[in-house]
């Protein structure tokens, strides 16, 4: 692979020299006005823009089939107006000056007249005229400069000024005026006696542009499946991250439970995240997971206010140019460019708050319910009824944690209190409510602040953008804070008439602090306490949490003077905090050289550097460190207490490093002649991505002197010992010592893409890409496998036989077929070995993770797509429908092999998967009036996933059922992420759960055969989409978005009460439903309470009930993701202080949801596979402002 890389660099250098030689030769040609081959007027205007910094407005089809022979570069020293005359006048076009390098282009109404004699509102001396004047605005009352006003049937015209004002002289018998403006509907206004008319223009659907990262295409001429969202759509609501931008706006892209996918999952083990491309470059987001050490993917950091548009490439024709990284879809982000004109300064601020958690969502059993369960336990425990004193003694000494309610019942058995006293004590506990009265005191409302500043300026030769974003997030715990600063700079320079250079730098700095893995988190605080266990006394002093020490264990703590086992929440939440520092940098440069009017060269280079540093001080006062030091205590030969572990603080540091570069050389061709247009690109790309991680732990650490105590007895400490506190003391190689890791991926690619358009109606396209990498095997048969695509489209609405169907504005048919790829970044063709340290010999050891695989190759995904784009009723209703099939094969999966080869299993390209789906997008302008408008967008996607080949079958039923969400166990013929359950058969006459065996007979016994597992449905939604409404009235804009995910399943609320009722996860309402006596099995499915020493208690009883198919419910839901109200301040209020635009906004997120499970479960705050409630998703309330100068 290194040879390929060197050859690519040498080839790239040769190509650069060759092309630059051609460019230099071209640059030395004489500066004379000369005639060249005809080129499209549009291309000539693009060159004018590049040289003079001009902008043009014109109707979408105005420049169609118009050509010019003018070489713009040869006229560089001439005034721009002279250049425009030479280009436009022979093509029967006029240009109208608007303001500061802004021009409107219109069709010339009368041929043969000298355009130079015309002027806005020009009149002839012999005409009887009158004057018409007024303002031209859009429906939001914004004045429109540069609107062209023409006399119907005549040659008189005018243009509005910066304030939208116009004046035109017309003959007395004139019938109407025509108002035209790029991006607006053409409007005919009949003339009456009035001398003043204010005109309101309606926006219309413009031709969309598709940005692939390698090239920019007109969506009308694209053959692939694309979805696009523009900056105007994003400005209608407050968005703080790219993930929020993507959700609900793009059909086929599903944002669900923290992950983003495009058209389903197409891999078992490789990367399943889409590829992100920013301003033409793939962006690397890989990092090492601190908890597992595995590589993960994240969504790029980018300021949403910098985004100009986002394009999602979904099928092979759209995404195959990215080759082996395109199987999961490609998300292309284009940032904003400076627009010609005055300097623009924009500032915005947002302030958001989330109320404290509503803990009632957790449905924890109340104090009263837990008291009833405690009575139930002791009233039915045979051992307690037979000999209360003996059972009480046994429970105190062997049962572990004793709750206040259990303690009362044990005191009753011990004769320390009477039944009346016990009942009184229980009644006192019933009235306690820890959640609302005490636990919430440790929390605070979460808050967020975000500020954005941007500055842009464009001139004839230079354009720059600068933006800065600052965020300050405060979590629910007082120690939970997160701050970040993002800077983005972009500059485009016209070096000369044939060369353009661009450079950009992105920097993001993050500083966060919060509870670490060994601290007491918010979740553990809530889940660990019962509602009648106070954490503060009556005077507000903190109380220790209940521990699980047995009496003799508690005595040992005093006997050996060990560190205290107490945990005090108020203190613990401030210990063992993790500080995370992240610096992410991305810098790039581009050169664009024009070789011929239809041929250009692009050289591009990007470098990425991400540094992540995580530091955790393990306070000696924390329970974690006290318990660790106690666990390494022992008695020396003299009987004194000694410790084999360094005393004091601990310190951990985890570092993540990423280095990546991309070098691309590309030639672009864009040639039009007669009715033909050819667009093509060809190039090569070299990339390298390097991930490093290192972890180190220090014990006996002093944060002042930065010194620590070296551990000499590593072998003994890693083998483990039992301390005087009866806990095991042990160090683990990953979390407690030193580890390092490195992954290097290198790629070399060469590619080509071409499209041909005939008569603006018929389009065909094709692409091919070869990817070489050190990730592949050595077998030549798999090293040069091309990834390719082909597509075609037909704009039927442009055919003559449809000209009479005026209500159809666009009808386009598309079809594509092709092959994309995917890769596992941690696989390789050679033997994969994991090295470690032997705990007995202290020598290095290695274990084979995967045997050598010379046939390792790309995972392949073949996609077939058929689509229709349409617009009807003057674009009031538009949309797209796509039907697709994605067949993925050569997927990496674990395969059982002959043990005689030395391995029981191996990771090979031997799996297959299929996704079939339909996508729909509808945009409708329901009401389109001058002061009131209502637009609706509906998008939806259906995706059905199925595993079509997999050789390794789960070994046990429990492995398949418990791991259904983890993606490690799956069955052929079912979705990749499926929910499997035990076939629940109810309770027997002892109140024990039963399941149906393979013979259909109900049994209460352990069954391990995986064939017993029953498919319960998909864990991921089958239908996903959004409903977006935008309503405007005068200066008010109201927007709301509902998202929906339908068709998947999850486990419902279920709790099996075993042993003493001392757990906080008991579900409210279960006390009345548990089996109590024979016959109850006819009315309830909830097993009886089991006792501490119960001969019928089995390990499978909880799993059968909790993971039974009777406990499967729908995971479908609809949620009001956000509602936003924006008010735009009137221009007359703000123009005095030289403000161009000012808005205030109020928004609410996650106000409510509609679930279809019947149990009040929000699937976004729920373990779909395990069936447990998470902390609820709370609504967020936001206020913000936007100011543009």
Domain ranges of the chain: 31-118
Q: Look at residue 399 in the predicted model and tell me its pLDDT.
A: 64
Strands (E), 950-1035: 978-981, 984-987, 993-996, 1002-1003, 1014-1018, 1023-1033
Label the pairing between strands 649-673 and 676-701. Answer: antiparallel
- What residues contact 442, with CB distance under 8 A and at least 6 apart? 477, 525, 535, 569, 570, 573
Distance (Å) of CA 459 to CA 57, 340, 490 = 18, 6, 14
Bridge pairing between strands 216-218 and 226-230: unpaired
| Residue-level pLDDT at 349 | 94
Phi, psi dihedrals of residue 4, rounded to the nearest 5°: -60, -40
Give the pLDDT confidence score for residue 115 in this predicted structure.
34
Task: Report yes or no: 657 and 691 within 8 Å, Cβ to Cβ.
Answer: yes
* Dmax (CA) of the chain: 126
Alpha helices in 865-935 (DSSP H): none
Residue listed under structure tokens 């520092």? 581
b/e burial code for range 829-846 (CB count within 10 A of at least 16 → b): beebeeeebebeeeeeee
pLDDT on residue 38: 82
What SS3 string covers 558-579?
Answer: HHCCCCCCCCCHHHHCCCCEEE
Pairwise CA distance, residues 885 & 944, whole Å: 10
Nearest to 1094 by CA among 377, 387, 407: 377
CATH of 31-118, one of 3.55.50.30, 3.40.50.150, 1.10.486.10, 1.10.3470.10: 3.55.50.30
Other Cβ atoms less than 10 A from the Cβ of 200: the count is 18
The pLDDT of residue 208 is 55
Judge whether 245 and 310 are in contact, CB under 8 Å: yes
pLDDT at 27: 36
* Core vs surface per residue 1040-1079: b (16+ CB within 10 A) or e: bbbbbbbbbbbbbbbbbbbbbbbbbebbeebbeebbeeee
> Would you call 795 exposed, middle or buried from its count of C-beta atoms within 10 A (0-12, 13-18, 19+)?
buried
Q: Is 936 exposed, middle or buried (0-12, 13-18, 19+ CB in 10 A)?
A: middle
- How, if at all, do strands 330-335 and 275-278 pair? parallel
Low-confidence residues of the chain: pLDDT under 50: 1-35, 110-126, 205-207, 734, 964-965
**Helices 404-413 and 367-380 sit at what angle, rounded to 10 degrees?**
30
What is the pLDDT at residue 680? 92
Res 666: pLDDT: 94
Q: What is the DSSP letter of 634?
A: E
Question: CA-to-CA distance for 329 and 310, rounded, in angstroms?
Answer: 13
> What is the pLDDT at residue 850?
72
Tokens coding 943 = 């995706």
pLDDT for position 1139: 87
Q: What is the pLDDT of residue 1179?
A: 95
């Amino acid at each position: 692979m290194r040879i390929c890389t060197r050859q690519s660099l040498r080839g790239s250098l040769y190509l650069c020299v060759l092309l630059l030689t051609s460019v230099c030769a071209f640059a030395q040609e004489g500066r004379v006005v000369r005639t060249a081959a005809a080129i499209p007027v549009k291309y000539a205007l693009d060159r004018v823009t590049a040289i003079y910094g001009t902008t043009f407005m014109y109707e979408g089809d105005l420049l169609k089939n118009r050509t010019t022979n003018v070489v713009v570069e040869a006229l560089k020293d001439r005034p721009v107006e002279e250049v425009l005359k030479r280009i436009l006048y022979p093509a029967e076009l006029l240009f109208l000056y608007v303001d500061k390098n802004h021009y409107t282009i219109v069709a010339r109404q009368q041929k043969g007249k000298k355009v130079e004699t015309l002027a806005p509102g020009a009149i002839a001396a012999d005409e009887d005229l009158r004057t018409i004047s007024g303002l031209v605005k859009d429906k939001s009352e914004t004045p429109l400069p540069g609107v062209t006003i023409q006399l119907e049937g005549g040659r008189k015209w005018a243009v509005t000024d910066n304030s939208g004002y116009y004046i035109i002289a017309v003959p007395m018998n004139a019938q109407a005026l025509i108002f035209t403006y790029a991006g607006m509907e053409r409007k005919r206004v009949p003339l009456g006696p009035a001398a003043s008319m204010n005109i309101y223009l309606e926006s219309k659907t413009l031709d969309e542009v598709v940005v692939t990262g390698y090239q920019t295409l007109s969506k009308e001429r694209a053959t692939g499946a694309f979805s696009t969202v523009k900056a105007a759509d994003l400005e209608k609501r407050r968005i703080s991250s790219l993930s929020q931008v993507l959700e609900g706006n793009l059909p086929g892209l599903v944002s669900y439970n923290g992950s983003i996918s495009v058209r389903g999952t197409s891999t078992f083990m490789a990367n399943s995240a889409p590829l992100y491309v920013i301003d033409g470059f793939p962006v690397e987001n890989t990092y090492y997971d601190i908890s597992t050490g595995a590589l993960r993917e994240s969504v790029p950091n980018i300021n949403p206010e910098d985004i100009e548009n986002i394009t999602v490439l979904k099928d092979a024709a759209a995404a195959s140019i990215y080759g082996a990284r395109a199987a999961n879809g490609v998300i292309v982000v284009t940032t904003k460019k400076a627009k010609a004109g005055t300097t623009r300064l924009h500032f915005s601020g947002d302030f958001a708050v989330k109320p404290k958690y509503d803990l009632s969502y957790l449905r924890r059993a109340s104090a009263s319910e837990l008291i009833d369960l405690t009575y139930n336990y002791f009233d039915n425990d045979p051992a307690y009824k037979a000999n209360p004193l003996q059972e009480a003694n046994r429970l105190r000494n062997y049962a572990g944690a004793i709750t206040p309610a259990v303690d009362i019942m044990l005191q009753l058995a011990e004769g320390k209190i009477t039944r009346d006293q016990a009942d009184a004590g229980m009644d006192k506990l019933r009235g306690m409510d820890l959640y609302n009265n005490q636990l919430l005191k440790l929390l605070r409302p979460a808050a967020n602040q975000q500020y954005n500043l941007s500055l842009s300026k464009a001139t004839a030769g230079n354009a720059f953008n600068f933006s800065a974003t600052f965020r300050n997030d405060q979590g629910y715990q007082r120690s939970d804070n997160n701050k970040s600063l993002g800077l983005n700079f972009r500059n485009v320079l016209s070096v000369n008439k044939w060369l353009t250079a661009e450079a950009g730098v992105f920097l993001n700095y993050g500083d966060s602090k919060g509870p670490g893995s060994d601290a007491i988190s918010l979740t553990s605080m809530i889940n660990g306490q019962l509602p009648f266990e106070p954490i503060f006394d009556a005077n507000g002093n903190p109380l220790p949490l209940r521990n699980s020490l047995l009496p003799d264990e508690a005595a040992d703590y005093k006997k050996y003077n060990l560190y205290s086992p107490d945990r005090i929440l108020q203190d613990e939440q401030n210990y063992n905090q993790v500080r995370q520092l992240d610096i992410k940098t991305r810098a790039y440069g581009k050169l664009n050289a024009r070789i011929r009017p239809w041929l250009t060269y692009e050289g591009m280079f990007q470098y990425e550097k991400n540094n992540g540093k995580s530091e955790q001080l393990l306070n000696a006062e924390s329970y974690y460190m006290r318990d660790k030091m106690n666990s390494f205590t022992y008695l020396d030969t003299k009987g004194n207490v000694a410790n084999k572990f360094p005393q004091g603080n601990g310190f951990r540091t985890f570092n993540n490093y990423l280095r990546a570069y991309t070098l691309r050389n590309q030639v672009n061709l864009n040639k039009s002649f007669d009715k033909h247009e050819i667009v093509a690109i060809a190039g090569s790309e070299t990339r390298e991505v390097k991930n490093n991680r290192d972890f180190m732990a220090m014990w006996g650490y002093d944060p002042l002197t930065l010194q620590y105590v070296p551990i000499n007895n590593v072998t003994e400490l890693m083998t483990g010992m039992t301390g005087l506190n009866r806990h095991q003391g042990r160090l683990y190689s990953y979390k407690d010592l030193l580890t390092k890791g490195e992954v290097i991926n290198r790629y070399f690619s060469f590619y080509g893409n071409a499209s041909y358009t005939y008569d603006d109606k018929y389009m065909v396209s094709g692409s091919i890409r070869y990817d070489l990498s050190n990730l592949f095997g050595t077998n030549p048969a798999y090293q040069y496998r091309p990834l390719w695509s082909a597509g075609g489209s037909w704009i039927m609405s442009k055919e003559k036989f449809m000209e009479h169907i005026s209500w159809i504005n666009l009808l386009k048919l598309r079809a594509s077929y092709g092959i994309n790829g995917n890769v596992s970044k941690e696989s390789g063709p050679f033997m994969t070995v994991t090295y470690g340290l032997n705990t007995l010999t202290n020598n290095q050891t290695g274990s084979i993770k995967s045997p050598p695989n010379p046939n390792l190759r790309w995972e392949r995904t073949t996609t077939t797509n058929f689509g229709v784009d349409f617009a009807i009723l003057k674009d009031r209703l538009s949309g797209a429908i796509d039907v697709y099939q994605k067949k993925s094969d050569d997927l990496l999966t674990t395969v059982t092999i002959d043990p005689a080869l030395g391995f029981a299993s191996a990771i090979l390209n031997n799996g297959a998967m299929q996704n079939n789906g339909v996508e729909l997008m509808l945009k409708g302008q329901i009401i389109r009036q001058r002061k009131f408008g209502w637009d609706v967008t509906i998008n939806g996607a259906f995706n059905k996933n199925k595993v079509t080949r997999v050789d390794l079958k789960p070994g046990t039923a429990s492995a398949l059922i418990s791991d259904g969400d983890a993606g490690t166990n799956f069955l052929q013929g079912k979705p990749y992420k499926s929910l499997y359950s035990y076939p629940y058969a109810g309770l027997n006459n002892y109140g024990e759960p039963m399941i149906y065996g393979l013979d259909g007979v109900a049994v209460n016994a352990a069954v391990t055969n995986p064939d017993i597992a029953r498919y319960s449905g998909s864990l991921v939604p089958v239908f996903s989409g959004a409903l977006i409404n935008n309503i405007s009235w005068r200066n008010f804009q109201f927007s709301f978005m509902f998202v929906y995910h339908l068709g998947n399943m999850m486990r419902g609320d279920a709790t099996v009460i075993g042993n003493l009722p001392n757990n906080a996860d008991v579900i409210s309402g279960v006390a009345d439903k548990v089996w109590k006596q024979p016959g109850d099995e006819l009315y309830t499915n909830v097993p009886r309470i089991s006792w501490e020493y119960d001969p019928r208690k089995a390990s499978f009883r909880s799993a059968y009930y909790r993971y039974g198919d009777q406990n499967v419910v729908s995971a479908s839901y609809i949620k009001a993701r956000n509602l936003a109200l924006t008010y735009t301040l009137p221009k007359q209020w703000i123009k005095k202080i030289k403000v161009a635009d000012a808005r205030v906004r109020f928004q609410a997120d996650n106000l409510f949801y509609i679930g279809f499970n019947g149990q009040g479960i929000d699937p976004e705050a729920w373990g779909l596979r395990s069936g447990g409630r998470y902390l609820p998703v709370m609504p967020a309330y936001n206020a913000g402002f936007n100011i543009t100068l």
